[in-house]
Structure 1
Amino acid sequence: MDGYRVMRQDDNGNRFRVADGLGRAEADALAAEFEARGHKQFYWVEAGRSRTPQPPAGEPRYVVGGALLHRGRVLAARRSGPPELAGSWEFPGGKAEPGETQEQALERELAEELGVRARALRPLPGSWEVRPGLELRIWAAELLSGEPRPLQDHSELRWLAAHELDDLPWLPHDREVLPHVAALLAAG
């Protein structure tokens, strides 16, 4: 498939294809969306042949969040932007790229945003439409290695016990899964 692709380069100079086979206007809009979200990585549009499969028409793309569990606590992250979300707390994560499973996307996003290696365990109940064609799922995940740091999109991180979950101003969708996260912590 001919068209344009959106590319990104991380802080280490690694280059990744974000999306393929787009029209020029769609590719420019997607790159601008990433820039507007405050990602510290560099995004650009280039012409080329698509090698990444696109989801079938009508199938949603996913945003995945991770309820990252470690030693009886869960990690919460305070948003640094965009302005309408800044100061609210969430389970960190991001969009699945074309061709990625939700598990792969979550593990990649936690590495990029927090500098850790984690394993996606299972989706928690519920899903939410972020906008048409984009659906949020929150997953339980376990920390495998590394010390989480707020590398992108967040200004602060906190490890919380079950009794502390209600102490923070969560984003609405994240707040809805708190009973499920509390049950995981109680069972852990």
Structure 2
Amino acid sequence: MTETPPTRFVRVVAGVICDARGRILLAQRTGASDLGGLWEFPGGKIDPGESPEHALVRELDEELGIQAEVGEAVITVPQLYPDKRLTLDVRHVTRWQGNPRGREGQALLWVPPRKLARYRMPPADRPVVAALQQPDRYLVTPDVGQLTAGMSGAELEAGEQAWLDALERTLATGISRVQLRAPSADPRRWARLAASAVELCQRVSAEVLVNGDLELAARLGAGVHLRSDQLSAHRDRPVDPGLALAASCHTVDDLRAAERLGCTFVVLGNVLPTATHPGRNGIGWEAFAAMREHVSMPIYAIGGLGIQHMDQARLHGAQGIAAIRGLWAD
């Protein structure tokens, strides 16, 4: 039976209010309210004809008694609830006048950013925490097997070293989350090369995931990035809780399966046409947002994207972008 989504649309704005110590303000929903007892970023509904900026200033005055200056956008999260479709527009607030207090009886708490994930939150607020804590770029390495096709001996070794050198240059741009992927490489050579790549990533404290190969990931002490066709093969999380688990998703069913497995994050696309799939249209940003609203985990947009698409990705609920060509130093 096909699900019928709610027809009621609600637009909400919230502020990431940061004090001089870098702590972030959370407010607890009162027991009588929807999702009572959960913690959230302060804010409220946007009235018809009202801008998000004006609504946030008004709501923070009414709820906290402060006069806030609205800063840059953090993320806009589309989220599906049983009774409504909600869009949460989140902005930075670093300057305000007044002393924040719960004028509507709500508890307030200043929380260090690293501890935000410990607090139970509504589904729409969880991607905001990820946007504040986790990388906005997810590098997928180019297939070294394709780059070195036809090479042998010293030429092959030089080609593999060039790949490692390019990875090192890419990490120097600030990349801190990496997927090692080489589907056409010789498995034994790839295992050695991947070990060297892990060492490079560890030097700069970049998180590493291995595409598809759970055994190799375990040997390297790395996380795992599951292909979409691997999602149905697992009923339980296939890696230790301390390691990252990700997945490639193309449908809402994929997203839900990944969330059930406890994936740290996923990628969804292709959003735009790509050179690797000529003639195939991407799903587009509206379809990305429509699928994104069914789950609350971090989702990277992938497919034909580069740094120039970051703002658009965040506007449609993405953690950021995942890419090969758009992030690789060469």
TM-score normalised to structure 1 length: 0.58
* Structure 2 residues not aligned, in runs of 5+: 1-8, 135-330
**Is the radius of gyration larger for structure 1 or structure 2?**
2
Q: Hey, which bits of structure 1, 4+ residues long, moved more than 6 A?
A: none
Residue 115 of structure 1 aligns with which residue? 65
8 A Cα contact 2:78 2:124, kept in partner: yes
1:175: how far off? 1.4
Structure 1: how far apart are the matches of 2:40 and 2:119?
A: 9
8 A Cα contact 2:77 2:127, kept in partner: no
The 3 A distance-change label for structure 1 pair 64 and 84 is closer
Structure 1: how far apart are the matches of 2:121 and 2:86?
A: 20
TM-score normalised to structure 2 length: 0.35
8 A Cα contact 1:67 1:181, kept in partner: no
Residue 103 of structure 2 aligns with which residue? 151
- In the TM superposition, 1:14-53 aligns within 5 A as none
Structure 2: how far apart are the matches of 1:100 and 1:83?
A: 23
Residue 88 of structure 1 aligns with which residue? 38
Give the aligned residue type for 1:65. A
The 3 A distance-change label for structure 1 pair 104 and 176 is same
- Number of residue pairs matched? 125
Moved more, 62-71 or 101-110: 62-71
For the aligned residues, what is the CA RMSD? 2.5
The 3 A distance-change label for structure 1 pair 61 and 88 is closer
- Cα displacement string for residues 39-83 of structure 1 (whole angstroms, at most 9, x for unaligned residues): xxxxxxxxxxxxxxxxxxxxx662101111121111001100445
**2:125 aligned residue (174, 178, 181):** 174
Residue 128 of structure 1 aligns with which residue? 78
Structure 2: how far apart are the matches of 1:147 and 1:128?
A: 31
Give the aligned residue type for 2:126. R
Structure 1: how far apart are the matches of 2:32 and 2:16?
A: 21
Identity %: 36
**2:14 aligned residue (65, 80, 103):** 65
Q: Helix, strand or coil for the counterpart of 1:126?
A: strand
Structure 1: how far apart are the matches of 2:108 and 2:133?
A: 18
Give the aligned residue type for 2:74. L
Residues 1:75 and 2:25 aligned together: yes
Give the aligned residue type for 1:165. L
* Structure 1 residues not aligned, in runs of 5+: 1-59, 184-188
Larger RCO (CA within 8 A; separation ≥ 6): 1
